[in-house]
Amino acid sequence: MKATFNNISGVFYAVVSSASFGLIPLFSISLMDTGIAMPAILFYRFAVAAAIMAIVVLLTGRNFRIERRYMPSVVWLSVLYAVTAILLLASYRDIPSGVATTIHFLYPLAVTLIMSMFFKERATITTLIAVGVSLAGVALLTWGNHSVGDYKHGVLLVLVTVATYAIYIVGVMKSRASRVDSVVLTFYVLMLGALIFFLYALATSGVDSIHRWSNWRDIVMLALLCTVLSDLTLILAIKRIGSTMTSILGSMEPMTAVIVGVLYFDERFDTTSVIGLLLIVVAVVLVIVQSRDVNSDGGRGRDSVSS
C-alpha cells in the first residue's frame, strides 16, 4: 500500500513540476509586455525565489553552511542556470514560447550525449535514432514562414539553452556540488543568480521599480510556481518514482507551454508544429527509457540521475 501511494504521489509531483515550469511564458511574457526589461524580470524572479527557498531551508532545519571547496562548483552552476534562464526568455521575443519550450525540452538528450562523450557511458543505436528524430522535430517546428521576430536567431538562442542546461544537470551530478544538499544547493543557485541579474541589470537596462499590483502578482507566481514549486516537486518526484519516470512525465512542460501560447498569446501552432513537438517528445522518451535499461544491465540501480 505504501509503495502504491509513493507511486501515485510521485506521478502527481512529476506532473506538477513539469506543468508549472511550462507556465514560465505565461508570466514572463506578460511582464515583458508591460515594458519591464528582461534582466529586471529575472532579478526579481530569482530574488523572490531565493527568499522563499531560504524559508524552506529554515523550516526544514537545514544548514546554510557549505564547505568552501564546493563554492567554485556552485558558482559555475549558478552562471549556467542564469545563462539558461535569460536566453530562454530572450528567445520568446523571436519565436513562439511553445516552440521555444519544446526545443528546450531536448536537454535530456543533450545530457545523454555529454555523459557518453565525456564520462564513457555507453551510447546505443537508440541514442543515434533519437538524435535523428529530435532533429527532424526541430526542423518541423521551424518550418515555414513566421511573422514573429528573427526566427533563426530565436531558435539559435534556445538551442544554446539546451547545451547550458544539460551541462548544468551534468554538473549537479558530477561536480563537487553533488555533495551539497539539494534544497540548499537550489537556494545558493537562485541567490547567486539573483546577484548576477542584479549586476547585469545595473550595467544595461537598470532595475525597474515595480508599481503595479499585477506585475508583482506575475513576479511572485513566476518565482513561486515556476521556480520553487517546480524544483521542490521535481526532487520529491525523483525520490518516489525515480528520475526515469519523472523525466518522461516532463513532457508536460512543452505541452503546457504550447497550450499557454495558443490560448493566451495567439501563437501559431499548426499541424506541422504538433508533429514536430511529438517527435521531440518521442526522441526524449526513447533516450530516457534506453538509459534506464543500460543502468539496469550495468547493475547500477534503477536511477542515478539527480536534479
- Give the whole-number percent of the chain exceeding pLDDT 70: 85
Confidence (pLDDT) at 157:
95
Confidence (pLDDT) at 87:
96
pLDDT band at 296 (very low <50, low <70, confident <90, very high): low
The angle subtended at Cα 179 by Cα 175 and Cα 183, nearest 5°, is 110
Domain range summary for the chain, segments of one domain joined by +: 2-297
The angle subtended at Cα 152 by Cα 262 and Cα 148, nearest 5°, is 40
Q: Is the pLDDT of residue 299 over 70?
A: no
As a whole number, mean pLDDT of residues 188-212 equals: 92
Q: Cα–Cα distance between 97 and 25 in angstroms, integer?
A: 6
Confidence (pLDDT) at 303:
36
Lowest mean pLDDT among 9-18, 277-286, 291-300: 291-300
Q: Could you tell me which of 256, 206, 196 has the C-alpha nearest to residue 230?
A: 256
Lowest mean pLDDT among 48-52, 78-82, 131-135, 215-219: 131-135
Q: Is the pLDDT of residue 293 over 70?
A: no
Q: Cα–Cα distance between 221 and 226 in angstroms, integer?
A: 7
Q: Cα–Cα distance between 167 and 115 in angstroms, integer?
A: 10
Q: Is the pLDDT of residue 73 over 80?
A: yes
Q: Is the pLDDT of residue 304 over 60?
A: no
DSSP state of 121: P
pLDDT band at 305 (very low <50, low <70, confident <90, very high): very low
Task: Report the predicted TM-score, pTM, of the whole model to 2 decimal places.
Answer: 0.82
Q: Is the pLDDT of residue 164 over 90?
A: yes
